[in-house]
Amino acid sequence: MAGVALDHTSFAVHDAMSWARRLRRELGATPIFGERLAQFGYLLLHVGTADDGARLELLEPRGEGFLTRFLDARGEGPHHITFVVPDLRAIVAHARALGLTVVGEDYDHPPWREAFIAPDAKHGVVIQLAQSDRSYPPVDRLLSTRTRGIENLPSSRGATEPLWWTPLWETAPGAVARLGTTHLASTDLEFSRLVFGDLLGARMTEDVSALDLSWPGGSVRVHAADRPGVTGMSLRGGPAGGIEIGPVRLGTEVLHSG
């Protein structure tokens, strides 16, 4: 579908602020926005420059629910990939036509309508689909000011405390690293072509063992593997060896599942 954008890759962690401080010190990360809900809080960060970088989200639990169950079962690590779409109902219908399981649909909150493609045996990751009547400012503006026009930003239903994350500004940023491609293992590249190309409208190039997919906002490299799931994100700069969040790495060398 035309008009789809890659918004961010999300990681479940026990303490979002602790991780955010580390990413700011070691990668020069800039906070974009965050909120708190009954079961979880989130913080969206940009890692990079105005011309070269990507968004990463940190999710932390606040009460018993899906995120505590995830962390208990799997520990810290990648949780979902989010795409912003122009017509959520249409893309959900298309996803179901491909045989995908869609859950958590909410069409009645214009600041953040959403639905989730449940993880399957082919990709092993939640895909969040979102539609909003609001948008984030351009990256150059986000990097040049600490002011956030909260009333104009995408906002989840039932969210509170839109400024909970602002103490992060007190952490001095390190040298700016550049976050890039999300790496995803797939057990079925042909099906991956349908999901990311046909359904999500990626610009695509490929070789015998991988698909390189891009959208406004970022890129994903899907590689053939026996075990599915996000394996990491490319990173230029930052500490030697990158940064590990659970089993995956932000770094120049991203390990692939076998």
Res. 67: pLDDT tops 60: yes
Q: Sort strands 30-36 and 5-12 into parallel, antiparallel or unpaired.
A: unpaired
Please say whether the beta carbons of 92 and 129 come within 8 A: yes
pLDDT given for residue 2 in this prediction = 76
Q: Name the band, by pLDDT with cuts 50, 70 and 90, for residue 255.
A: low
Q: Where are the domains of the chain?
A: 5-251
Closest of 8, 14, 205, 1 to residue 90, by C-alpha: 1
pLDDT given for residue 257 in this prediction = 46
Closest of 167, 130, 143 to residue 43, by C-alpha: 167
Per-residue pLDDT tens over the stretch 184-211? 999 999 999 999 999 999 999 998 899 9
pLDDT given for residue 99 in this prediction = 97
pLDDT given for residue 208 in this prediction = 85
Per-residue pLDDT tens over the stretch 243-252? 999 999 999 8
Mean pLDDT of 37-50: 97
pLDDT given for residue 252 in this prediction = 83
Res. 107: pLDDT tops 90: yes
pLDDT given for residue 166 in this prediction = 98
Q: How far is CA 15 from CA 28, 43, 71, 79, 202, in A?
A: 19, 11, 12, 15, 33
Res. 254: pLDDT tops 70: no
pLDDT given for residue 155 in this prediction = 97
Topology (CATH level 3) of domain 5-251? 2,3-Dihydroxybiphenyl 1,2-Dioxygenase; domain 1 (3.10.180)
Number of Cβ within a 10 Å radius of residue 115? 21
Res. 258: pLDDT tops 70: no
Per-residue pLDDT tens over the stretch 71-105? 999 999 999 999 999 999 999 999 999 999 999 99
Strands in 192-228 per DSSP E = 203-206, 210-215, 218-224
124: region left, alpha or beta (phi > 0 left; psi from -120 to 50 alpha): left
